[in-house]
Amino acid sequence: MTIKMTGVWKTFGEGHTAVHALQNIDLANPQGEFTTILGPSGSGKTTLLNLVGAIDDATEGHIEVAGVDLAGLSVDELVKYRRENVGFVFQFFNLIPTLTALENVELVADLTASNGAERAAEVLDRVGLGDRMTHFPAQLSGGEQQRVAIARALVKEPPILLCDEPTGELDFETGRMVLDLLQRVSRELSQTVLLVTHNAAIGDMADRVLKLRSGEIVEDVHNDTPIDATELTW
């Protein structure tokens, strides 16, 4: 799906304590584009993802996804939008500790598929965790937990994938494996991906690299020859 932001502002608070987390953002992402977003802490990266994912709303401006203005959707329509179109992957995995890997994925699969359990098992198999499905998060390594989180985001095959520092907690090898997985699946499904990272090297695998500073886009570079994630090094 295409994402188009025009004149988007996000302001937290009011008056002299107001924080302008995003300032007049204009941005268009075609379907299937893999974009990394870099920028210092507090520059507005997570805020941007939250607006696209309709977890939060813009203070001003328009966000259109596949030509539909999110501001015009009712609460029910927003729930449907998030459920059907958006997959989130977070830095701290956000798995439910009392549920097994399979149950964590099934929770989301059940929302969109009648055969949720079957779909959940399929996707876990695909991320290489076919033999870990009955493990609880605490019994999995960091990379395995992140792969469960990715399976959870992918089980509904969302056209938009939002990843907030998905490799922040992982060592080099594991991080690269997770990026490879994201790259392969997003290409297969032609997903529009926004991936936030502090690691500039990851930009080499992306079609586009955005840099934010103080809520503004200060750099926007297209990359015609993204490398395979397996070739990344840092």
47 binds Mg ion (CB under 5 A): no
Query: Would you say 92 or 228 has its CB closer to ligand ATP?
Result: 92
47 binds ligand ATP (CB under 6 A): yes
Residue 121 neighbours by CB under 8 Å, 6+ apart: 102, 130, 133
What is the smallest separation between the CB atom of 190 and ligand ATP, expressed in angstroms?
27
211 binds ligand ATP (CB under 6 A): no
| Tokens of residue 65, six digits | 């996804």
What is the smallest separation between the CB atom of 137 and Mg ion, expressed in angstroms?
22
What is the smallest separation between the CB atom of 51 and ligand ATP, expressed in angstroms?
10
Binding mask 15-44 for ligand ATP (x = CB under 6 A): ----x-x-----------------x-xxxx
Query: Segment near Mg ion (CB under 5 A), from 38-46, 55-63, 98-106, 118-126?
Result: 38-46
User: How far apart are alpha carbons 193 and 204 in whole angstroms?
Assistant: 14
Q: Which residues bind ligand ATP (CB under 6 A)?
A: 12-13, 19, 21, 39, 41-47
Instruction: Give me the residues that bind Mg ion (CB under 5 A), please.
Output: 46
